[in-house]
Amino acid sequence: MELKRVVVTGLGALTPIGNTVSEYWDGLTSGKSGANDITYFDTTHFKTKFACELKNFDPQNFMDRKLARKMDRFAQYGIVSSEEAIKDSRLIEDNVDKDRVGVIWGAGIGGLETFQNEVLGFASGNGTPRFNPFMIPKMIPDIAPGIISIRNGFRGPNFATVSACASSANALIDGLNYIRLGHADVIVSGGSEAGVSISGIGGFNALHALSTRNEDPKTASRPFDKDRDGFVLGEGGGALILEEYEHAKKRGAKIYAELIGGGLSADAYHMTAPHPEGIGAIKVMENCLRDAGVSLEMIDTINMHGTSTPLGDVAESKALYKVFGDHLYSMNINSTKSMTGHLLGAAGAVEAISSILSINNGIIPPTINHLTKDDTIDEKINFTFNQSQKREVSYAMSNTFGFGGHNACVLFKKFEE
């Protein structure tokens, strides 16, 4: 069967460097760091005392207090980012068939803070099991797409994807395929995460995954730098409206880009570490190119997973050369995690938005905080260090990899009739 074309007709972002898409893009292109000391809890006894928190975010600016209290922060972030995208797309104004609009949303963990607080509350009591009646719905990752559909009346496919840090990229790929195959006209897709919490920081510290550069948090996320010492935890949400092209054309929708392919793979190697030769990363990029039906020479830029971990950055850099060969040296590579931190399950969507905006604006955001060259990483690669670079972009790829060896890659193309 002939697959339908899928375009992007709306964007929404809630990030540590901007609470809207325009603010996020301004933060990216100016090289703004979202890292600072943690304000949510006392970090006195923690190895890491900083993160990329949202700034000036109040859920009651978007929903009433009663509803906000029924949701974990990750779901609040999903509501806010998705509603910016829905408004941007004019779906509601254009009175689309809501039976044909679905929501596919990613979250790597879901309501971690809710579970943490309920257990702490029980442990500090007298043993009587008094739990919030909304504890379970606040925790489950699929509550975010559920509430998005309830608020908007969308009755199409509705579920959550969970694949650690690849979750929202998986959601985009599922959305792409549901529309391609004719199961929906529109999918509200993306992801959200709220891991900056006692258990989030404590758990990642126990894995030795986080940077401990407490004296200088703004430069702590430094992908591909010799002195990188772990990732910086971030939070927020990103939403994309994926739409069948003829459906979008008929209603005169604004089209940002075309989503032309998605790749998936597994490392099959280790619970938390990447394969040292990047085997899963190689496969996922090759699978994405094959799915999109384009040659590797057409790719202009890749937003790498690039978390700022000692092992991950080297493995992904090796994978890039094995896939792209010498064409790699004519591309712009970057890692926006250097600015936003690592948004875990929301990373794929938030970084896909950056790729789309690079296509629309002809600008590659920088990989900030590069101070010292790493001899184990190919110096001929243009990592767009420290400053944005202007470039005409027709094809933009975005990588996301997750604990458990889950890999997802999406490819966007400049829209043409």
Per-residue pLDDT of the chain (417 residues; tens, 9 = 90+): 799 999 999 999 999 999 999 999 999 999 999 999 999 999 999 999 999 999 999 999 999 999 999 999 999 999 999 999 999 999 999 999 999 999 999 999 999 999 999 999 999 988 889 999 999 999 999 999 999 999 999 999 999 999 999 999 999 999 999 999 999 999 999 999 999 999 999 999 999 999 999 999 999 999 999 999 999 999 999 999 999 999 999 999 999 999 999 999 999 999 999 999 999 999 999 999 999 999 999 999 999 999 999 999 999 999 999 999 999 999 999 999 999 999 999 999 999 999 999 999 999 999 999 999 999 999 899 999 999 999 999 999 999 999 999 999 999 999 998
Domains of the chain, residue spans: 6-257, 262-413
What is residue 125's predicted lDDT score, i.e. its pLDDT?
Answer: 87
Is 16 within 8 Å of 236 (Cβ atoms)? yes
With CA atoms as reference, report the closest residue to 27 among 13, 9, 11.
Answer: 13
Question: For residues 410 and 172, what is the distance between their CA atoms, to the nearest angstrom?
Answer: 8
Q: Report pLDDT for 1.
A: 77
**Closest to 395 measured CA to CA, from 262, 265, 285, 257:** 257
What single-letter DSSP state applies at residue 371?
Answer: -
pLDDT of residue 399: 98
Closest C-alpha to 257, from 80, 410, 400, 81: 410
The two beta strands, 395-402 and 301-303, are parallel
Topology of domain 262-413, CATH = Peroxisomal Thiolase; Chain A, domain 1 (3.40.47)
How many of the other CB atoms lie within 10 Å of CB of 147?
22
Q: Which listed CATH number (3.40.50.150, 3.20.20.70, 3.40.47.10, 3.90.930.12) goes with 6-257? A: 3.40.47.10
Distance CA 4, CA 17 (A): 35
β-strand 301-303 against 332-334: which pairing, if any? parallel
190-217 burial, b at 16+ Cβ within 10 Å, e below that, comes to bbbbbbbbbbbbebbbeeebbbebeeeb
Q: What is the pLDDT of residue 277?
A: 92
How crowded is the C-beta side of 7, counted as CA atoms within 13 Å?
19
Same topology, domains 6-257 and 262-413? Answer is yes
Nearest to 35 by CA among 242, 255, 211, 299: 211
Q: What is the pLDDT of residue 147?
A: 97
Q: Which pLDDT does position 198 carry in this prediction?
A: 98
Q: How many CB atoms lie within 10 A of CB 372?
A: 9
Q: CA torsion, points 171, 172, 178, 179, in degrees to nearest 10?
A: 150
User: How many whole angstroms separate alpha carbon 56 and alpha carbon 324?
Assistant: 42
Residues annotated catalytic, as ranges? 165, 305, 342
The conformation of residue 303, written as its DSSP 8-state character, comes to E
